[in-house]
Amino acid sequence: MVALYIRVSTDKQTTDNQEIRLVEYAKNKALEYHLYQETESTRKTRPVKQLMLEKARAGEYESIIVYKLDRFARSSMELILDITELTKKGIGFISLTDNLDFTTASGKLQFQILAAFAEFERELIRDRTIEGLRRTKDKGTKLGRPAGSKDSRPRRRSGYILKEARKRQGVDQQNGSFKPIEGYIDRD
- List, for residues 100-151, the tens digit of each pLDDT value: 888 888 888 888 887 788 778 878 888 999 999 999 999 998 888 777 766 6
At residue 128, the pLDDT reads 92
Domains observed in the chain: 2-106 (3.40.50.1390), 158-188 (no CATH)
Across 81-105, average pLDDT: 87
Query: How would DSSP label each residue in 16-85?
Result: HHHHHHHHHHHHHTT--EEEEEE-S--SS--HHHHHHHHHHHTT--SEEEES-HHHH-SSHHHHHHHHHH
At residue 25, the pLDDT reads 92
Which residues, in sequence order, are CB contacts of 137 under 8 Å at separation 6+?
143
At residue 173, the pLDDT reads 82
Q: Is 9 a catalytic residue?
A: yes
Residue 38 to residue 86: CA distance in whole angstroms: 20
pTM reported for the whole predicted model: 0.61
Q: Is the pLDDT of residue 77 over 90?
A: no
Residue 3 to residue 62: CA distance in whole angstroms: 8
Given the DSSP bridges, would you call strands 63-66 and 92-95 parallel, antiparallel or unpaired?
parallel
At residue 63, the pLDDT reads 93
Most confident of 76-90, 121-135, 149-163: 121-135
Instruction: Report which of residues 185 and 16 the model is more confident about.
Output: 16
Q: Which residue out of 9, 41, 75, 177 is catalytically annotated?
A: 9
